[in-house]
Amino acid sequence: MLDLTETNPTRVGLPMPEAEIRAALADARVLRYEPTPFGDAAARRAVSAYHGGAVPPEHVVLTASTSEAYALLFKLLGDPGDRILFPVPSYPLFDYLAGLEDLETVSYPSVWEEGDWLIDLDGLEERMDDRTRAVLVVSPNNPTGAMLRKDEADRLLALCGRRGLAVIADEVFADHVFTDAPSRVRSLAGRDEALVFVLGGLSKSCLLPQMKAAWIAASGPADLLDDALARLEVVTDTYLSVNTLVQLALPRLLALRGVIRPPLMARLAGNRARLAQALRGSAATLLPTDGGWSAVVRVPRHPGEEERVLRLLTRHGLRVHPGFFFDFPAEAFLVVSLLGPEDEFARGAAILAADADAP
């Protein structure tokens, strides 16, 4: 079985600074319990520094995961029956998270135009109503890899500021981008045109999903931000969910990004190049991307996404995702993870290319 859907970074053979990680977790202070609603001060300073100081430490909130960060923000921003706008295509998570908080989700489209994924901002605004509380953006997007463009970010923040809506910016893949185009926005951290909550975490930045550490970096107009942080403190103080050990280790773990990131970026870029080479001249097309861990491949519409995925699985033992898993608006797309070992990925890419040309 060749698995081109693997996104668990602990299972793909990437080198990790194991001794340094273990050392970061060997802190004698773990024997003391000093509960703090927003998390350990040193850890929050490290997150502030990670964002280049755009958000001060007192506006950083530690969480056990980005999923928990979403849950806390949904509690903060909405009452039962209120609505959250989220993008499609995207990872199929937000319906579940919002549903657990008794909120409704409304999708807004991204459209493929002239080799780029663009937010349909007119369509986004049309979906806003008096029950809308927040707009969720993912940059780089999962799975398209598209980053927010500067003009999109400016219009989005102005629109939400005018409407009194919060922006939740999921930037978990922000460390893993392939472009330095000035038209792209690396982060919304520190923007104050609207209430902005930027999400990040060790899962993607340091390939450490098992550590269960993430954060919210909040910014916005002073009156709205102060009120939001005061209310969020009540929520986080009620749960106190981030364990002491990972809070104490977080500054040292974040500092290891300079060691962890290069092998990962080499793997991502290398596998993307292998996929492009395998598909060259075939009926399949590799779509451009700005970053992230996934690649999107356009394939012939016949015999259909589900049928093609099942054919790849049963005939060739190759696992890939169909586009409809991520709510692509039309057929036919396949999504593959770029994380896998190089030799296995190359074999899978060759099978994918050959199948695209099969009747």
The CATH number linked to 289 is 3.90.1150.10
Confidence class of residue 114 from pLDDT cuts 50, 70 and 90? confident
For residues 65 and 109, state if they share a domain.
yes
For residues 6 and 92, state if they share a domain.
no
The DSSP H or E segment spanning 121 is helix 121-126
Q: What is the pLDDT of residue 189?
A: 98
For residues 322 and 263, state if they share a domain.
yes
Q: What is the total count of domains within the chain?
A: 2
Q: What is the pLDDT of residue 115?
A: 82
Domain, as residue range, for 247: 18-255
Strand intervals (E) in the chain:
2-3, 60-63, 83-88, 104-113, 116-119, 132-138, 166-170, 196-201, 214-219, 285-286, 294-298, 318-319, 321-322, 333-337
For residues 71 and 183, state if they share a domain.
yes
For residues 6 and 113, state if they share a domain.
no
For residues 246 and 274, state if they share a domain.
no
Q: Which CATH number characterizes residue 173's domain? A: 3.40.640.10
Confidence class of residue 329 from pLDDT cuts 50, 70 and 90? confident
For residues 162 and 292, state if they share a domain.
no
Supply 122's token pair: 């007119």
* Average pLDDT over every residue of 22-31: 96
Peptide bond preceding 249 in cis form (omega within 30 of 0): no
| pLDDT: which is higher, 329 or 6 | 6
Q: What is the pLDDT of residue 113?
A: 83
**Cα distance between residue 270 and residue 344, in whole Å:** 12
For residues 110 and 242, state if they share a domain.
yes
User: Whole-number mean pLDDT of the chain?
Assistant: 97
Token look-up 């861990």 returns 293
Q: Write down which residue in 255, 277, 301 finishes a domain.
A: 255
- CB proximity list for 121: less than 8 A, separation 6 or greater: 152, 155, 156, 159
For residues 230 and 309, state if they share a domain.
no
Q: Write down which residue in 236, 255, 274 finishes a domain.
A: 255
Supply 166's token pair: 């919060």
pLDDT at 50 over 80: yes
* 258 close to 107: Cβ distance less than 8 angstroms: no
Q: Is 209 helix (H, G, I), strand (E, B) or coil?
A: helix
Q: What is the pLDDT of residue 227?
A: 98
* 139 close to 169: Cβ distance less than 8 angstroms: yes
For residues 168 and 184, state if they share a domain.
yes
Q: What is the pLDDT of residue 324?
A: 96
Q: What is the pLDDT of residue 326?
A: 96
pTM as predicted: 0.97
The 10s digit of each residue's pLDDT in 223-233 is 999 999 999 99
Q: Write down which residue in 226, 255, 284 finishes a domain.
A: 255
For residues 63 and 79, state if they share a domain.
yes
Peptide bond preceding 346 in cis form (omega within 30 of 0): no
The 10s digit of each residue's pLDDT in 252-272 is 999 999 999 999 999 999 999
**Cα distance between residue 100 and residue 253, in whole Å:** 31
Parallel/antiparallel/unpaired status of strands 2-3 and 318-319: parallel
Q: What is the pLDDT of residue 217?
A: 98
Q: Is 103 helix (H, G, I), strand (E, B) or coil?
A: coil
Q: What is the pLDDT of residue 225?
A: 98
**Cα distance between residue 298 and residue 125, in whole Å:** 29
CB atoms within 10 A of CB 116: 15
**Cα distance between residue 306 and residue 222, in whole Å:** 49
- CB proximity list for 273: less than 8 A, separation 6 or greater: none
* Average pLDDT over every residue of 13-20: 98
* Average pLDDT over every residue of 260-289: 97
Confidence class of residue 283 from pLDDT cuts 50, 70 and 90? very high
The 10s digit of each residue's pLDDT in 123-181 is 999 999 999 999 999 999 999 999 999 999 999 999 999 999 999 999 999 999 999 99
